[in-house]
Amino acid sequence: MTKNLRATLTVVLVVAAVLVAALLLARGSTSVPEFTENAADNTTAGEQVPREILVREDSHRLSTAPEGGVTFVEFLDFECEACRAAYPAVEQLRAEYGDRVTFVARYFPITSHANAENAAVAVEAAAQQGQFEAMYQRMFETQAEWGEQQVSKADVFRGFAADLGLDMAAYDEAVADPATLERVRRDRADGEAAGVQGTPTFFLDGVRIQPESLDDLRSQLDRALAR
């Protein structure tokens, strides 16, 4: 092996090692754990937040416990990968706890997500026809198809509405109505008032929690129910 060839091979191996290291770092930086927020927020875990900020009369309830029961609130973004990762866990808990826990979903579209607000408006338009839950589920189940794109996916969301059998004239009117967007932004404003900056952010009986896993969240719900 000549000296020049040996030097060339050395350079190639060094470059390859650097590329592998960069790929590993990139993979680590983009992975999304099950319960990880996209951004730090200024609410300390354990700090009580007034109920009137977290749950409004028109807040969307996925289940309803008897008055005075346990309330779980999630501020979410339909384009958020961490919200999508947490979605199956929340659905599982809803199935397990039934009407013992009030599960509340509130919009918190992140401004850096091009279609987050469009998606929330589409869900709210469906909610006006009594189909909040169905559209909420459809958004998360299809997120990989439309998320992380810079062009509007409003037509895709309209297709979801048609698939659900909605009155499309009423849906289009609701999407175009500024009041629908204002409804979404009121949720976000409440989230900001509660100190939310990233999604998903969870509150249990008015206290922000930071569960690390499904079992952790289940344990916290059990403790709340036992109180």
For the chain, the structural domain boundaries read 1-31, 51-226
* CATH class of segment(s) 51-226: alpha beta
Burial call 83-103: b when 16+ CB within 10 Å, e when fewer: bbbbbebbeebbeebeeebbb
pLDDT at 100: 95
Direct distance between the N- and C-terminal alpha carbons of the chain, in angstroms, rounded to an integer: 76
One-character DSSP codes across the chain: --HHHHHHHHHHHHHHHHHHHHHHHHHHHH---TT--SS--SPPTT-B--HHHH--TT-EEEE-PPTT-EEEEEEE-TT-HHHHHHHHHHHHHHHHHGGGEEEEEEE---TTSTTHHHHHHHHHHHHTTT-HHHHHHHHHHTHHHHSS-SS--HHHHHHHHHHTT--HHHHHHHHH-HHHHHHHHHHHHHHHHTT--SSSEEEETTEEE--SSHHHHHHHHHHHHH-
Is the full-model pTM beyond 0.85? no
pLDDT at 88: 97
pLDDT at 30: 28
Tokens of 9: 């091979």
pLDDT at 67: 84
CB–CB of 94/130 below 8 Å?
Answer: no
Tokens of 158: 């309209």
Separation CA 164–CA 161 (nearest Å): 5
pLDDT at 45: 63
Digit-by-digit pLDDT tens for the chain (227 residues) are: 554 434 443 433 333 343 333 333 333 322 334 554 444 344 456 779 999 999 999 999 999 998 878 999 999 999 999 999 999 999 999 999 989 999 999 999 999 999 999 999 999 999 999 999 999 999 999 999 999 999 999 999 999 999 999 999 999 999 999 999 999 999 999 999 999 989 999 999 999 999 999 999 999 999 999 98
pLDDT at 47: 77
Peptide bond into 200 cis (omega under 30): yes
